[in-house]
Structure 1
Amino acid sequence: MKCSRILKYIIFICLFFCAAKGQAQFDARFSQYWEVKGYYHPGWVGQTDNKMNIYGSYGMQLMGFTHAPRVMYFGADMPFTLFNKQHGVGVGFFNEGIGLFRNQRFWGQYAYQMKIRKGKLGIGLQVGMLTVSFDPSDINLGDETDDEAFPTAAESGMAVDLGLGGYYSHPKFYAGFSAHHLTAPRVSLGDKSQIKIHPIFYLTGGYNIQTRNPLISIQPSMQLQSDFTSTRLDVTGRLFYTYHSRVLSGGLTYSPDTSVTFSFGLTVRGVTLGYAYECFTSKIGVASGSHDLLVRYALDLNVFKKNRNLHKSVRIL
């Protein structure tokens, strides 16, 4: 067997087992987790009164590596009232490419919202579909193409995905808990390969500290994710400067034994732009970190109601 063929075989095996065995890493992580609450917590949808939230996030991970992961998330949520009760609905789409593998998910969310003292508690359900596909078209074996160890055609599999959780928001703090992949879906790739996705749990919390300067506030937060085999903790501190409707922020996130992340954000007229760079503290190095870009827009739903009954009197014309 040629050396080049051996190398290709090793690369293929590594890519496969990274996707098939690394269940704790199946859910991609976004560095600005505080801005994409709908991605992690179905109980969040509809918590912003009279506003539709639209999110978009794109991550470029492990820069400098061939076939490095690329992740994209798009989501939206909004509140509504039914039978004098508050509810929320949301949708989300996620796409991830890792080497020859692609992971795609689409889901719908519903949350029942209830007032508790000065805060709001949301109990949410998430139902969707999960698709994993493998495309070997980029594998070049030269003249020897009869090796059964290498698939010759693209394979994909689909499974139902289920999640639920609760989220409580207060003017001074917030806390959320959610569980994803509760059905422990199994995705078959052809007749010989199968990927099992274990449930993963998220715990998120944050606090708002107003300084003596009314323009400056501090918001510490944390997020814990675990499948009881592998666990990751992110601890963040962000500083906010608010002037009229403009908000400028900067933050630092530390994940023990993993990375340090720098983040920046700007909010103007309901539009939030965010950027984060994750520097790994392992031997991967600072230059091979991960970029995270985010756009969020909060649309005022009352804009339609305000214009609904507008009219002009002919006596004024």
Structure 2
Amino acid sequence: MFKRLRIILTMMLTLVSVWSHAQYDVSFSHYFDLEPSYNAAAVGKQSKLNVAAAYAMDLAGFKRNPQTMYVGADLPFYFLKSYHGAGIQLMNDKLGLFTHQRLALQYAFKVKLFGGTLSTGVSAGLLSESFDGTKVDLEDSSDPAFSSSKLDGNSIDLGAGLYYTRGPLYVGLSAQHLNSPLIKLGETNELKVDATYYLTGGYDIRLRNPYLTIKPSFLVRTDGVAWRGDITGRLVYTNDKKMMYLGVGCSPTNSVTVLIGGNVHGVIMGYSYEMYTSAINPGNGSHELFIGYQMDLNLTKKGRNLHKSVRTL
């Protein structure tokens, strides 16, 4: 009886984690640096090769707590007298005995509009799901309610988005899992992933001090049932090749987040801690580490690239 209760509590914890991830997708505190992870139109938005990675550990202190790893790369290119963007990403998300994985390719087409640039993007990839039933501790191994073996399945996953930039302003609208993938796990289990919609934006505010910039941003997502909004403000110091930032974020009814970071030998490193505003202990929040690198590309009609410097936020 106690073992079954423990299993139910573990599954409830997993459901709470999924709910906090807007039903399915992962919520990153550094969403402003990981835009291609939820909007294909954001690939190649600058004349730079962009590489980004993040690791998030949610509900710290709990057994089998959610842990997510993300790696992505994108770049712009010039072809047939037009500018384009291309990207690739890999996501690995573990929640209890479940593992979600996504491998996707992205493409964006860019046009000039109203003094800025409008990008239209699409993504296509493979969504994989697995459940490790061998780690379920049951008194009765023949209980049909719980699988005692490893189950896995996969499905095609599609997404699309729009992204507009003009000077210090940007705004994006996108959708993930547009085809609502239905993944079969074994012969009797299946998982349906609902489409999730995103709205993001931000602006750079220059201060009188030439070294300081305030960068407010927001991200709102919903799957039609649950929703999550994030509002973040960062104070960024830049001087020559040095950069440091300190920020705070808020997700209404969910959490408060503190962010800090800077560049180390040309590589941007950032850390954030998300403290939930629910009854969960403040020490059981979420840790996140972000690593980013950019290399300038000189896009010319001849296709030659000139490598100059690294990323500055």
Q: Same fold (TM over 0.5)?
A: yes
- In the superposition, relative to structure 1, how do residues 21 and 189 fare at CA in structure 2: closer, same or farther (>3 Å)? farther
Q: Given the alignment, which residue of 88, 92, 96 partners 1:95?
A: 92
Identify which of 138, 162, 184 aligns with 2:180. Answer: 184
Between the aligned partners of 1:296 and 1:90, the Cα distance in structure 2 is: 15
Match of 2:163 in 1: 167
* Structure 2 residue 201 is matched with structure 1 residue 205: yes
1:149 pairs with one of 145, 151, 154: 145
Match of 1:71 among 68, 72, 88: 68
Secondary structure of the structure 2 residue equivalent to 1:131 = strand
CA shift digits 1:155-176 (9 cap, x unpaired): 0111111000011122221100
Q: Could you tell me whether the CA contact under 8 Å between 1:79 and 1:88 is conserved in 2?
A: yes
SS in 2 for 1:6: helix
Q: Which residue of 1 aligns with 2:3?
A: 5
1:140 shift after superposition: 2.6
From 44, 47, 53, give the equivalent of 1:46. 44
Q: 1 CA distance for matches of 2:14 and 2:264?
A: 43
Cα separation, 2, equivalents of 1:267 and 1:208: 19
2:218 paired with 1:222: yes
Query: Paired residue for 1:80, among 77, 82, 89?
Result: 77
Paired position in structure 1 for 2:310 = none
- Structure 2 gaps of 5+ residues are 308-313
**CA–CA separation in structure 2 for the residues paired with 1:31 and 1:145:** 40
Which runs of 5 or more structure 1 residues have no equivalent in the other structure? 308-317
Deviation at 1:20, TM superposition (A): 8.6
- Displacement after TM superposition at 1:272 (Å): 1.2
Q: Distance in 1 between matches of 2:261 and 2:41?
A: 24
Aligned mate of 1:29, from 23, 27, 30: 27
Contact 1:110–1:124 (8 Å) recurs in 2: yes
2:238 maps to 242
Identity %: 38
CA distance in 2, matches of 1:212, 1:203: 30
Deviation at 1:117, TM superposition (A): 4.3
Please state if 1:134 is matched with 2:166. Answer: no
TM-aligned CA deviation for residue 268 of structure 1? 5.3
Post-superposition shift, 1:100? 0.4
SS of residue paired to 1:287: helix
| Cα drift, residue 24 of structure 1 | 3.1
Mapped pair 1:289 → 2:281: no
The answer for the alignment partner of 2:311 in structure 1 is none
SS class of match (1:34): helix
Deviations 1:117-175 (A, max 9, x none): 44221100010110110001212335x32222221210011111100001112222110
CA distance 1:19–1:292, change in 2 (3 Å): closer
Task: Output the CA distance in 2 between the equivalents of 1:296 and 1:242.
Answer: 16
Given the alignment, which residue of 162, 178, 191 partners 1:195?
A: 191
Tell whether the 8 Å contact from 1:19 to 1:26 is kept in structure 2 after alignment.
Answer: no
- Are 2:120 and 1:120 aligned? no
C-alpha distance in 1 between matches for 2:15 and 2:240: 51
Cα displacement string for residues 205-245 of structure 1 (whole angstroms, at most 9, x for unaligned residues)? 10111111111111111110111211111111111111112
CA distance in 2, matches of 1:270, 1:89: 23
**In 2: Cα distance, 1:113 partner to 1:67 partner:** 42
Who wins on radius of gyration, i.e. which is larger?
Answer: 1
Amino acid at match of 2:294: A
Which one is further off, 104-113 or 11-20? 11-20
Partner Cα separation in structure 2 for residue 217 and residue 12 of structure 1: 44
Post-superposition CA distance 1:4-27 (Å, at most 9, x none): 333244246536766898883210
Supply the distance in 1 between the matched residues of 2:251 and 2:59 (Cα, whole angstroms): 16
Taking only aligned residues, the RMSD between alpha carbons, in angstroms, comes to 2.1
Q: How many residue pairs end up in the alignment?
A: 303
